[in-house]
Amino acid sequence: MSNAFGQAFRYSTWGESHGPAIGAMVDGVPPGIALAEADIQVWLDKRRPGSSKYVTQRQEPDAVRILSGVFEGKTTGTPIALVIDNVDQRSRDYSEIKDLFRPGHADYTYFKKYGLRDYRGGGRASARETAMRVAAGAIARKILLQAFPDFRVRGAMTKIGPLRINPEKWDWAQVDMNPFWCPDAGVVGMWAKFLDMVRKEGSSAGAVVEIHASGAPAGLGAPVYAKLDADLAAAIMGINAVKGVEIGDGFGITAIPGEDAHDEMRMRDVPGKNAREVEFLSNHAGGILGGISTGQDIVVRYAVKPTSSVLIPRRTVNVHGEDATVVTKGRHDPCVGIRSVPVGEAMVACVLADHWLRHKAQCG
């Protein structure tokens, strides 16, 4: 259905940014996993607005409550209900934009679909819904960690507007040390100046984000319509403002000759054990071959369009079929890509948890 994600690990979300609360229900979670609100809150805090001057200054504590499915500190196997109260529903005057279709927003399409629209912050099209993706992703991580203690998913931003990182300077340790989840310390200063400029001009910038998941086993996915990469593509393309998704080398692989584009294999000794294991000599494939994981790092990259709201007047039409001009005022996120990083991580975790449970059903 329209508001649920996944099959065996399945979560559903509800709520609008200007209603009393938003929530999710997470179904299919194995019983007996230790889970507390703090396990979820840590990831929500990472996504939270207001954390730097480069993201919206809307202030939401985003404190999550677990209302069901956990008993005596452990999951019970029954649905876990999560709720976050909407605290900062600023009683703003919407009369100016109430009848206008803002370019780049879902206003027009929402209206064409439903014959109505919730003009208070975009209704379900608001990025506020992504808080629940992050919350569900926190539970997905717990499921995977229980089965695969080395499992880890983390994201980084590799481009803001026209400015790329140098991939050879990638350092995961840098990612948490700047407000951009940037893995290349050398570009942080330039990005800061660029975004300051963008913000002052009332403009906005796009971004590219890259998610790596390590420690997941080979064998997740299926060869035809449950391909791991297809489900990852849907999960990521479904994040607000995303316009492109790549696995591994993505579009870049089209320019590599066939003999170099495919990852060769060799046997290697398993460190510290009297055993041998398969080693891939490269990872052009991004950890997925024929829709099934190889056991290497799973690498997903995505493009986020510039924030739709800009402080510069744009041409549009209104619900009465008249030409009009729209200008956004007030709080403003110059680059929504920044806040999408924890969301992208969460979606990758959710897809992997779902495929892990589905794999167990058939092959476990």
- Quote the least distance from Cβ 136 to a second copy, whole Å: 11
Phi, psi of 52, deg, nearest 5? -150, 175
Query: Three-state SS for 8?
Result: coil
| CB nearer to a second copy: pick between 21 and 177 | 21
- Quote the least distance from Cβ 172 to a second copy, whole Å: 22
- Quote the least distance from Cβ 274 to a second copy, whole Å: 13
Measured in whole angstroms, the distance separating CA 37 from the mean position of its chain's CA atoms is 20
| CB nearer to a second copy: pick between 185 and 261 | 261
- Quote the least distance from Cβ 212 to a second copy, whole Å: 16
DSSP secondary structure code for residue 295 in this structure: S
| CB nearer to a second copy: pick between 90 and 360 | 360
Cα–Cα distances (Å) from 304 to 142, 327, 338, 343, in that order, read: 27, 22, 9, 12
CB atoms inside a 10 Å sphere around CB 46: 18
| CB nearer to a second copy: pick between 16 and 297 | 16
CB atoms inside a 10 Å sphere around CB 94: 12
| CB nearer to a second copy: pick between 46 and 124 | 124
- Quote the least distance from Cβ 7 to a second copy, whole Å: 8
CA angle (276 as vertex; 273, 277 as ends), nearest 5: 115
- Quote the least distance from Cβ 173 to a second copy, whole Å: 25
| DSSP bridge pairs for 292 | 221, 289
As a 3-state breakdown, the chain gives helix, strand, coil percent values, each rounded to 5, of: 30, 25, 45
d(CA 189, CA 173): 17
| CB nearer to a second copy: pick between 171 and 260 | 260
CB atoms inside a 10 Å sphere around CB 191: 25
